[in-house]
Structure 1
Amino acid sequence: MAAKVGQSEAQRTPVRLGQGMRALWVLRVDEPGVVAARTFPVVEAGLRRTAVATESAKLAVPAPLPTSSAVLEAVVGEILPSTPALGGDDGASDAAVAASAAGLWPLCLHRTGPLVVVVAPSVKPGAQHAGRLVDEPSVTVGHGLAATLAELLAGYAPGYDLAHMGVIDVFVAFALPLGTVLTLDLPAIRKYMAHKPRDLIASVQGPAAVAKIPASKPFLAKSRSRQVVDIRVSESVRAVQYDVPHLADVCVVQGSLQVKALLEGVPEVTVMAPTLAQVESLALDPAVSVFEPTTGKLSLIPPLETLAVAQYSVPVSVPGSLPIRGFYQQSPLGPQTIHLLIQLKLCVKADVGYCQVRIPFHNHGQITHVDLRPSAGIVNVTADRRALVWILTERWSVGNAEVELPGTITFHGSPRLLDVDAAALAPQPPQPTPTSLALDELNAGSAVALASLAADAAAADAARTAVAHLAAPSDDPFCVASNAYIALDFKMTNTTLSGVHIARDAVSVYPKTRTKLNVDHELVSSDYIIWNSLGASRHGVDLSDLLATAPAPS
């Protein structure tokens, strides 16, 4: 039984990688034979554990995988005769189907010339009764996997020399390690294959070593005088500071543990990271073979390129954990002149590689005169003369942690938004507000409130559109009058905000070899914003708080 999956349905269904495949076969149907067969015990064991955990365990346990000869017989004798889309032998037939044969359901097939790629995806027990096949993520990914491999093999037409079918091993190691689909990017796969890994493996360790190469390291490093292992803990911090009593500062930290090893052979790298086991939302790469949550020990055979073996996020208490605490005030001195004061304090012990503060002036025209007195660094005016960049060139450390930038700035002409009606952009008084009015009437079940709210939103959008046409392309319609912010761009080394730390003696290589070890820790900024404390600012609003403070319906 075979069912063709429509192209439009497949396009509407998002492809989610990371799905497991039970087995993969490449068959030749003009001269029936099995070109390649790969099974994945890791996926099979996980599927059986899931099945045993269900209530109807005896019915849910999947049937054992058939032999390669049984799959070949089913494809040649059952599926091809009953599926016209796969019946062509001119090399142009490449339709994908989902079929049931040889006791397996489902099977994803893709044909190119005399070759048929057969994939057995891992589906939940009882999924055949749940609905359409296209709704099963593993089936959708299985179709893409079969099509990608078929397109790769089509490059060996018309002869399809079996001596070149070793590319299937490399394809599986790169795109399907341990049965988990990691990528379907064919150009990237072809680029990866350009290294001719199988020849390299045989030349380094001999032909017997080919069968010992793990899925996570299909390629080996060439012989070099120095073996190098690089360990890096890289974190990015996103923060918004308001410096007003009714708004709490926000800080989010995300990090990754990255490993790169240029080592001969296939040695195992072990990292002891007890602090890593204490973070939240920890995700490990499939290449990690051992992880002990209690001690934070993880082991892997890393590939040659940099691999993020672990990614995590941590909650940060504000303001205690902010790496740089800032204070920003901007106030008008006249129609063309403003006064500003920026103060920054380094709150962590680290080496600051660089730090730049961008100070944009939206809707003010071009800068004509600057009178600033920075306590450290230099200040430059951008080419469009609409922003300043404060560059802290000196070494910044906790010893001279505080720096400041006071002064005045003069612009050409009046602020551009004075020529338009910006009332829709100004903050509304607390009582009454359109939001509270809408909530009041919405709680009372009034449909008029919804129409009024929609009209107000349309009017605000129209006002913003008009302002955008009059302002410069880079102007922000919200940043009028004293509504302003500064953005920090920095990089710090030898520190992390989460406390995750890797010591040099916590990294080991087995078998032992003379290895150069580099361990780095870095913290970089990502959308690090400080708002003017004398103006309004953008901030998130909790809808539950609005509902709690809304007037009760009368």
Structure 2
Amino acid sequence: MALRALWVLRHEPRAVLFSRRYPTVEARAEAFNGSTHVAVPSDSDFLKAMLFELRLTDDQSFVEHRDTCTRIDHSSVRSVRVEGGDLWPVVAFQKSGLIYACLPLVEEALEPRPSLLTIPGLSQGLALLFGILDYISPSRKNEAELSAKAGQLRTLIIQACPLGTPLNTNISSLSSSFDDIQVVPTDVKQPAWRSNTYKGKPQVNVCITEKVKCMQYDKRDVVDMWQVYGAVNCKCDIEGAAPNVTLTLNLPTNGSPLQDIFVHHCVTSVDPAMLMSSSVNPLDDSVYSGPYKFPFIPPSESFNLCYYTSQVPVPPILGCYQLIEEGSQLKITVNLKLHESIKNSFEYCEARIPFFNRGPIAHLECKVSYGQLDLSREKSLLVWVIGQKFPKSSEVSLTGTVTFGDIGEEHPTNYVCTGNTAYVKMYFRIPDFTLTGCYVDQHSVQIFTPGKPKITASRELISSDYYIWNSKASAPTMYKSLYY
């Protein structure tokens, strides 16, 4: 999803209020389009061609390629005839005397013309144009304000669409940071991913997010599986065209080593042994225990510095789910135990027990040792809200019976959750906690720039595909032990 060029044009008086071209995207367009490629014309030529295409010129005579009945357009995507040929697909629309247009990248030959549904840049380009419209439109009655906003638009587009890729289509939300953003002078060497600079007090925000995926079966012949997937997100507001930053991820002595580390392209160097630590072969001894140092030149926007996985020794919540069918009733038992290493409070913690392939729950007799039990609106899902804390025993339980009514056409179904093949799915988030123990402190970030930087670090653990399967029935398995 990328744009070759972007324009804001004025009909009366004729003028180009704003334009932005992306040479790197244009080079890709030449490679993809081959002999069908039509180069982006100059701004004056595009303005003339666009006004002609929209019949906004003084000459209103019939022109076959533009006015024939076979060219009745029902969308904002147009073909604009320029000196080099037909420029397509141009996304353009008029509003209050202004014309908003962009030219998305098409990653294939343009003849025969591909389906619009196969060009992802169309929707992104249109969304960006609407964002520009929302930013400019309030100033249309004031010429001075319109001129000022058109001037500011160049700087804001650097943030919203760096290197031709739309990242933020809400242009108005970026205007508040205008005073802190400066365009980098053309004579200053800078990395391609850093298209503007920050002016102000240096500050770095780091957030470590770990997601734990889990499959628990409570069976002797089936091995429970779990793994942690982490991401380190950074936002570095630092002066200079190419500031140098070094961030170190720390682990406690009993922390789980990071594996399968994948770094952002802005990282300038890493220890090769760090990248060699892999979880593919559990017998591999290439475990790297740190330190995990990442020197980099940060992009202007928020980005993920690295991704990693980790084989933690235990999952955060151990569970057992038993479902037994007795006539028209289901007898269910759920036991959950919180691991002793977790001392932090949950932001939320709940267990959801679906019954999709039966009728709506007609009668429910269940009790919980802790928390609150709710029934969904469709009466096909039990929601056990545990809350922010487990009791001192670190164990909670749910027991009871469920009776169902007749199943209807609108009742939700699930191809996996059939018969006794049922599960409990856990949803939780624990702020200021990671299963690996990975953390960043004030001394873990070094910035080679004048001034004392403000370092803000946070971390969190989030459940992701955390299933506890019915131990009284067969369930989808990843691995079976050879020993019974």
- Structure 1 distance, partners of 2:249, 2:212, is 22
**Shift of the alpha carbon at 1:192?**
3.2
**Shift of the alpha carbon at 1:129?**
3.6
Q: 1:64 to 1:357 in 2, by over 3 A?
A: closer
**Candidates 107, 126, 147, aligned match of 1:162:** 147
Task: Say if 2:111 is the partner of 1:101.
Answer: no
- Structure 1 distance, partners of 2:8, 2:329, is 74
* Contact 2:319-2:334 within 8 A present in 1 as well: no
Higher strand proportion? 2
* Contact 2:215-2:468 within 8 A present in 1 as well: yes
Task: Say if 2:161 is the partner of 1:176.
Answer: yes
**Candidates 3, 6, 23, aligned match of 2:5:** 23
1:42 aligned counterpart, secondary structure: helix
Structural RMSD (CA)? 5.5
1:127 aligned counterpart, secondary structure: coil
Q: 1:322 to 1:332 in 2, by over 3 A?
A: same
Encode CA deviations 1:242-281: one digit per residue, 9 max, x unaligned. Answer: 122565545464433222456678884634469999637x
* Contact 2:196-2:300 within 8 A present in 1 as well: no
Q: 1:292 to 1:244 in 2, by over 3 A?
A: same
- Structure 1 distance, partners of 2:84, 2:422, is 68
Task: Say if 2:108 is the partner of 1:115.
Answer: no
Q: 1:486 to 1:300 in 2, by over 3 A?
A: closer
Task: Say if 2:110 is the partner of 1:127.
Answer: yes
Q: 1:510 to 1:62 in 2, by over 3 A?
A: farther
Task: Say if 2:339 is the partner of 1:346.
Answer: yes
Aligned residue number for residue 70 of structure 1: 45
Aligned residue number for residue 255 of structure 1: 230
Aligned residue number for residue 289 of structure 2: none
Task: Say if 2:225 is the partner of 1:243.
Answer: no
Encode CA deviations 1:34-85: one digit per residue, 9 max, x unaligned. Answer: 322322233235446x46xx9xxxx559666443333334445677455569
Task: Say if 2:459 is the partner of 1:516.
Answer: no
Aligned residue number for residue 17 of structure 2: 35
Task: Look at both structures and tell me which one has the larger radius of gyration over its CA atoms.
Answer: 1
1:106 aligned counterpart, secondary structure: strand
Q: 1:359 to 1:333 in 2, by over 3 A?
A: farther
Q: Write the letter of the residue equivalent to 2:452.
A: R
- Structure 2 distance, partners of 1:250, 1:210, is 53
Identity %: 19
**Shift of the alpha carbon at 1:366?**
5.0
* Contact 1:118-1:146 within 8 A present in 2 as well: yes
**Candidates 465, 475, 494, aligned match of 2:408:** 465
- Structure 2 distance, partners of 1:361, 1:64, is 56
Question: Greater shift after overlay, 263-272 or 247-256?
Answer: 263-272
Q: 1:169 to 1:367 in 2, by over 3 A?
A: same
Q: 1:126 to 1:513 in 2, by over 3 A?
A: same
Higher helix proportion? 1
Aligned residue number for residue 136 of structure 1: 119
* Contact 2:439-2:459 within 8 A present in 1 as well: yes
Matches within 5 A, 1:295-310: 297-303=295-301, 307-310=302-305
Aligned residue number for residue 375 of structure 1: none
Aligned residue number for residue 437 of structure 1: none
* TM-score relative to the length of structure 1: 0.57
- Structure 1 distance, partners of 2:239, 2:163, is 22
**Shift of the alpha carbon at 1:341?**
7.3
- Structure 2 distance, partners of 1:146, 1:97, is 15
Q: Write the letter of the residue equivalent to 2:12.
A: D
Q: Write the letter of the residue equivalent to 1:536.
A: A
* Contact 1:358-1:388 within 8 A present in 2 as well: yes
1:416 aligned counterpart, secondary structure: strand
Q: 1:291 to 1:124 in 2, by over 3 A?
A: farther
Aligned residue number for residue 495 of structure 1: 434
Encode CA deviations 1:179-209: one digit per residue, 9 max, x unaligned. Answer: 112244xxx332433x2x44x249xx8x998
* Contact 1:235-1:255 within 8 A present in 2 as well: yes
* Contact 1:492-1:523 within 8 A present in 2 as well: yes
Q: 1:139 to 1:505 in 2, by over 3 A?
A: same
Aligned residue number for residue 379 of structure 2: none
Encode CA deviations 1:424-443: one digit per residue, 9 max, x unaligned. Answer: xxxxxxxxxxxxxxxxxxxx
Q: 1:36 to 1:331 in 2, by over 3 A?
A: closer
Task: Say if 2:479 is the partner of 1:536.
Answer: no
- Structure 2 distance, partners of 1:155, 1:466, is 49
1:190 aligned counterpart, secondary structure: helix
2:297 aligned counterpart, secondary structure: strand
2:174 aligned counterpart, secondary structure: helix
- Structure 2 distance, partners of 1:330, 1:521, is 36
Q: Write the letter of the residue equivalent to 1:528.
A: Y
Structure 1 portions without partners, runs of 5+: 1-18, 86-93, 373-378, 397-401, 421-462, 543-554
**Shift of the alpha carbon at 1:241?**
0.8
Encode CA deviations 1:387-428: one digit per residue, 9 max, x unaligned. Answer: 7665684799xxxxx95457x96x6xx7524xx7xxxxxxxx
- Structure 1 distance, partners of 2:218, 2:367, is 28
Structure 2 portions without partners, runs of 5+: 58-62, 69-74, 251-256, 275-293, 356-360, 376-381, 480-484
Q: Write the letter of the residue equivalent to 1:523.
A: L
Q: 1:292 to 1:110 in 2, by over 3 A?
A: farther
* TM-score relative to the length of structure 2: 0.63
1:353 aligned counterpart, secondary structure: coil
1:322 aligned counterpart, secondary structure: coil
- Structure 2 distance, partners of 1:167, 1:130, is 36
* Contact 1:353-1:493 within 8 A present in 2 as well: no
1:512 aligned counterpart, secondary structure: coil
* Contact 1:216-1:302 within 8 A present in 2 as well: yes
- Structure 2 distance, partners of 1:142, 1:107, is 11
Q: 1:364 to 1:520 in 2, by over 3 A?
A: same
Q: Write the letter of the residue equivalent to 1:43.
A: V
**Shift of the alpha carbon at 1:514?**
0.5
**Candidates 190, 199, 204, aligned match of 2:172:** 190
Matches within 5 A, 1:41-60: 41-47=23-29, 50=31
Q: Write the letter of the residue equivalent to 2:206.
A: I
